[in-house]
A = this chain, B = another copy of it.
Amino acid sequence: MTHQTVGHRARPGLPDDPLAKVTEPAPSCPVEITLSALHGRWTTLVIRELLQGARTFTELRHALPALSDKVLSDRPAHLTEAGVLDRRRQPGWPPRVHYTLTSHGRRLGPVLQALWDWGAAVTASPPES
C-alpha cells in the first residue's frame, strides 16, 4: 500500500531499539516526538494546508475560518519549534509571513496518510462491539 520508503523492518511491530522499552512517556521516545509535533486541535489541518504549498497568516485564516487568531498563531509557532515549519518574514510593509514545510515537515505526509488509512479502515469495517 502506500508504504513509503520509511525503511523496511525485518519483523512487523515496533523496532528493536532501547527506547522501545521505556515504561513511561519519555520525551525522547520517537513516537512521543511525533505525537508532540501533531499535538493540539487543528494541528493536522494546518499541516494538510501547508502540504499544498506555502501559506501566509491570512491564507491560513481563509482556509480555516473557524480558528481563532490565537490558535492560528500558536500552531505555526509550535510547528516551527518542532522543526516542521519554516517561518520567513518578508521585509517591507505590510508585514508578510510565509510558512513553509521543512523537509521534515514534508515527510509528515506519509505519516498523516498512515493515520488516514487506519481511520478509514476502521470506519469501513467497524468492530464487533
Choice from B20, B65, B80, B109 contacting A14 with Cβ under 8 Å: B109
Cα separation A128 to B2 with both chains bound (whole Å) = 19
- Cβ of A29 within 8 Å of any chain B Cβ, yes or no, is yes
Task: Tell me the minimal C-beta distance from A78 to chain B in angstroms.
Answer: 13
Cα separation A128 to B87 with both chains bound (whole Å) = 12
Contacts of A51 in B (CB 8 A): 13-14
- Cβ of A41 within 8 Å of any chain B Cβ, yes or no, is yes
List A residues at the B interface (Cβ < 8 Å).
Answer: 1-4, 6-9, 12-15, 20, 22-25, 28-35, 37-38, 41-42, 44-45, 48, 51-52, 63-66, 80-83, 86, 102, 104, 107-129
